[in-house]
Structures are given as C-alpha cells and as structure tokens.
Amino acid sequence: MIEIPDGFTGGEVLEDGPFFQVRVAHRAGGRFVLKRLATRVRDVPEARSLLVREAQVLEALAGRATPGLAAWGEDHSGPWLVMDHIEGASLAERMQTEGISSDSLRRLARAALRALATIHSASDEQGFPLGIVHGDLSPNNLLLTGAGGVIIIDFGLARLRGDGPARGPMRGTLTYMSPEVARGEPATTASDVFALGASLLHAATGHVPRQARTEAAMLLLAADVPLDGGPLDALVPGLSAALEISPLARPSAEELA
C-alpha cells in the first residue's frame, strides 16, 4: 500500500517497483504524482538521500524542463515528494507502441537537447549556476508532451553544485551509460549528453545500444566499446559526437540544440 501524505487523496498506482512507489494524487481539484520509497528500502540511508535530493533538484529547477514540485516532506513512512502531473508518454512507451516517424524523431531530438541544455544551464535566484547533472537519462526518463516538447523526469541520481562523491551501488542505466561512469567516475554534464545520445540512437535504429548477458559484461561494454553514432547525424547535424568515448570530445547539449 502506498501511503498518501496529509492534504492529498490517492488515485491509481503508476509504479510499485523495488525502489520507488508512484501513484496519482489529488488536491483541491488538481492532479499530481506522488513518489515515495518502496518498503524494502525505506530505512536505507542512501535511498532516503536520493529521494530528498530529487525533491531538492526539482525545487531548484522550478518547472524548467521538468515537472513542477508541488510539495515534499517526510512522515513515519519516510520521505516523499509530489510533482505536477504531465500528460504524455515516455520515449520508451512511444517506441514500444505506435513508433516515431523520422520527422517526429528529428523534432523530438531537438526538443530533448533543448530540455537538457535548460537543466544544465539553470541558475539559482542569485544567478549562480545550479550545476545539475541528471545522472540517469534513458528513454524512460524523457516524457513527450502533446505540444511536441520534452520534459525530463526521474532525478533520483541527480547531482547539484557542491555535492560530494556519490555513494551506494546505484549509478544509472547500463544500456545508455557513458564510458566514464561505467568506469566508476562521477557523472558530469558530458555523461548526460552521452546518455541522451544513446537514448536517441535506440529510437533512431530500433535496437538497444548495448546487450550482454550479465551486468559485469555490460559494464565492460559500456566502459570500452564505442557506439556507432552515425545514424544520429540524420537527426541533428553533429549529434554523433555525443557518443565520443572521451567526455572532452563531446559537445554540450546547448551547442547541439
């Protein structure tokens, strides 16, 4: 059972996974999304800190290329956050159901790059860069809106300016992970660019960028075997450079957008 914070009423369950529980919530006629920790990780300090950090990142971004944060807090069941409900399907859902035309994918790629550039360049109220790195971009975390835009979601592994080294075993989705993150290095904005490029490569070719039977084999692939980014240049000129092995050789999301 996914408990509802005071002031909200519950709606349908959207996800009841091993790490997070997600369901629709309502307040004063508005429709929101409630996210909290699954029971099995509720008392794990690293898991608690990830959800708190996600709330802090959403609060700092204030709806810039992300869902707006309606409320967040902590109760006897642990930390929770409530976000605005955004109508749309993820890139992963679109690939699995109706598919995406070439023209639509070109527009989507531009919109996703603009959204990522917005997040990477975001500043606080004093004008200081927030230094946000998403840390786990994948087709599941790119929400396609009806207006042709892209909203980026799921900031559980995100980092803000001044964060110390990441702790715990969770480092991102291996299929789309950058080589440096697979080698155990901290994620950077260049790592996000790689993960977005790999996600768009999946959409462009219809094939997952990497496949292996074990997590260890996937880590070796991610760390050492280049991806062929050639198909990406048909979407956005120069986008293939997002998949360069060296993060220093990758353009920024702003440069590509």
pLDDT tens sequence for the chain (257 residues): 678 999 999 889 998 888 899 999 999 889 999 999 998 999 999 889 889 999 999 999 999 999 999 999 999 889 999 999 999 999 999 999 888 999 999 999 999 999 999 999 999 999 999 999 999 999 999 999 988 899 999 998 999 987 765 555 557 899 999 999 999 999 999 999 999 999 999 999 999 999 999 999 999 999 999 999 999 999 999 999 999 999 999 999 999 99
User: What per-residue confidence (pLDDT) applies to 2?
Assistant: 76
User: What per-residue confidence (pLDDT) applies to 62?
Assistant: 96
Strands 88-90, 142-145: pairing is antiparallel
User: What per-residue confidence (pLDDT) applies to 148?
Assistant: 86
- For residue 25, give the H/E element and its range: strand 20-27
Tell me the one-letter amino acid at 201.
L
Tokens linked to 114: 């603009």
Domains and CATH numbers, the chain: 9-84 (3.30.200.20), 88-256 (1.10.510.10)
Q: Measured over all CA atoms, what is the biggest interatomic distance in the chain, rounded to whole angstroms?
A: 52
User: What per-residue confidence (pLDDT) applies to 165?
Assistant: 57
**Given strand 88-90, what is the order of strands in its sheet?**
88-90, 142-145, 150-152
